[in-house]
Structure 1
């Protein structure tokens, strides 16, 4: 199976984040889709970052990362904000986030 970094716009640092969140291959990422994969990143303690979110959408469509503009970008921002509100716990400590990433915290 191909590594996540074989997808356009996704480099080794992003691949490491996805792998730590349990998303191991490019096909796994494609099967999950951008929203579910990004939600998983947030749930495992990765801080939200809008550019990373819309870059993921562009990557899975085979488009350049900076191709997102206008109404499409506005719509993605609304979805990003909803994902962030639903899946990112700002009170979660760095230790909790690390323990979650290595599988020591039960995800419910």
Structure 2
């Protein structure tokens, strides 16, 4: 299943190299049913909002996915779960439970790269 990334793993961001040999499939957007929390150094995708979050889609191999799980603290910090993209395609993404993010600012645009504008 493809992997949707929306923060520091995207092209040009500081952790992109962790995607290793993963094949880039293109820009993507989630269905409008999420929120994007701003944790300062990185974002967190949260179910239950009304925002379509912008990101990129990759096809990682098992080794890369295992390394990403470690990096993302999965399953203790983030959980890798299926999500719907705008248009109905399904993929996986790293999400954080809303209960862990009470009081954390949200990025209303759904775009990590434009959060400070």
TM-score, normalising length from structure 2? 0.24
Compare CA radii of gyration and give the structure with the larger one.
1
Structure ranking higher in strand proportion: 2
TM-score normalized with structure 1 length: 0.26
